[in-house]
Structure formats: C-alpha cells, structure tokens
Amino acid sequence: MIFGCGYLGRRVAKAWIETGYEVLAVTRTQKNAESFRESGIQPIVADICNFDSLATLPTVDLVLYAVGFDRNSGQSHEEVMCGGLKNVLSKINGRTSRFIYVSSTSVFGQSEGEWVDESSACHPTQPGGRDCLEAERLIWEYFPNRDKPNAIVLRLAGIYGPERILSRMESIKAGLSVAGRGDSWLNLIHVDDAVSAVRACEKKGTSFETYVAVDDRPILRSEYYGLLAELVGGPTPVFKPEEATTRGSGGLNKRCSNKKLREHLNWAPRFPTIETGLPASINSTTSP
C-alpha cells in the first residue's frame, strides 16, 4: 500500500505490479482514484489529515510512505508531513509487517561543503527538513520493536527525471537568470534510481536502519545548469547570488554519500551522474 502515490510512488507501483504484487494506493480525490484504477492500482479514497477517513485501511505486507507536501491540501506543511503521518501510524497498527518511510537529505543542515552520510548529525535549516526529521523521530518512536514491523527510513536526494525538469528547460532556453550561487552543491538522484533504492530496501533492507539514496557525484549548481543549457541550446546561465533560492540553503551545501546503500544493499544507480541522467530525462520529456 502506497501513501503518496505521485511522481515516485506511481513508478514504484508500476514496478510492483509488473512483479506480480497487488498494489493499493491512498488518495484524497476520485479523479486520482480513477487514474489509479486505469494503471492497475487499487485506490483507497482517504485523507491522511482526516483521522476518521483512515478507519478501513486494509492489512498489507508492506507500506511505502512517500507523502510530499501538496499546497492544495488546505493544510500546513507540518500538519501534512507530521500530523498526517501520526494518523497513519495510529491506524496501521497490526495491519502491516513492513514500513518504508521516504525522507529527504534536507534533514542535513551542513553548509560548508562537508561530506555527510547516515552517521552525520542532522540540524536542518529549512522547514521541510525539520518536518522530515520529526517524521523520522515519529517512525522510530512508533516502532520501538526492531523485529516487528520492519521499519526503514530512506533519505532521498533531489529527484529529477522525465517531466520533472520541463520548467527548468524552458527558463534556461529563455536565458532567464538563476537565483542563488553557482558554487553551491546539488545532491541528485534520477527517479528510476529512486525506485530501485526503494526496491533494494524492500528486498534487502535491515529493520530500523536509515539509508541515503543519491547518485555517485554531487555537482555544483553551475555545472548542472551549464549542462542543461548545453543540452537544450540555451545561453550560459547567469547566477544572481543576491536572490534567494527556493530550495536548499543557497550556500555551500553538503555532499551526500551513497556508500551504505551500495555496500549494504548491493545497490547501484543506473544513472550515476547527470552526464547520463540529464540527457536521458530530456529525451524522455521531449519525445512524442
């Protein structure tokens, strides 16, 4: 059962269905429910922020919780990310044996270009990172028994892929400036590799462990936007350090390591760097 069956969740659902699993997904809208049915996903119409609507959740083998913040929900970021999770955790008691929570590398607050991994201190500087860290705490608080259910936290870097970079492509083609510094670090993962990281946790993950999922090489923002401009035929990007970025700290951010995921779960990204992942994403986005 998937909570948050969006950009990542739908792809995980597709992989599970192709494997032969029965997949259910929770959604607030009938429109999404119909779309799920057409994709072979069994919808459950409920709202994680409405405790009573979760009363009839079924018993399942595994729960993937990949909820992102929806500005159309009418709820605050904290209400969705933490309050909604509390509701779900209360309702699934005894109804699943495995729980994978998709968190974010935004829980790390390092800002001087440090390398970070699962053992690094977490002092997030942004609201989203703070809510993710609180959600992780709720997971471990609710699942104190390390044997049942099997609970895992997967911290994903910034996901990119087909259709996810369309607005960036258009702005770069138009020669629009980029807010923030060009010498700050980006940690990314292609959506296909995010799916395979979820599958690795499903198949080989150790209960009560945290894993960081990111590609093999952090990159500077100037490198990312420079390659994007080259691929779409846009001018060399101009950065405006005086303008605040909408994501990240805007400074020399952390560099995330995937060593644990690679070594413990035998995971390897299909797109280890943006040199392969970005062209593949653009080709998929622009194909008819």
Phi, psi of 89 (to 5 degrees): -60, -35
- Indicate the class that CATH gives domain 2-160+189-215+254-269: alpha beta
> Residue 149: is the preceding peptide bond cis (ω within 30°)?
yes
The confidence score (pLDDT) of residue 250 equals 47
* Residue 157 three-state SS: coil
What's the pLDDT at 165? 85
Q: Please state, in angstroms and rounded to a whole number, the distance separating the CA atoms of residues 42 and 50.
A: 20
The pLDDT of residue 126 is 87
Which H or E run includes 220? strand 219-220
Please list the ranges in the chain whose pLDDT falls under 50.
Answer: 248-250, 288
**Which amino acid makes up residue 272?**
P
Q: Where are the domains of the chain?
A: 2-160+189-215+254-269
- pLDDT for 248: 46
Which are the contacts of 76, defined by CB distance < 8 A and separation ≥ 6?
none
What pLDDT, on a 0 to 100 scale, did the predictor assign at position 249? Answer: 45
Go through 242-261 and write b for each residue having 16 or more CB atoms within 10 A of its CB, e for each that does not.
Answer: eeebeebbbbbbbbbbbebb
Q: How far apart are CA 233 and CA 230, in angstroms?
A: 5
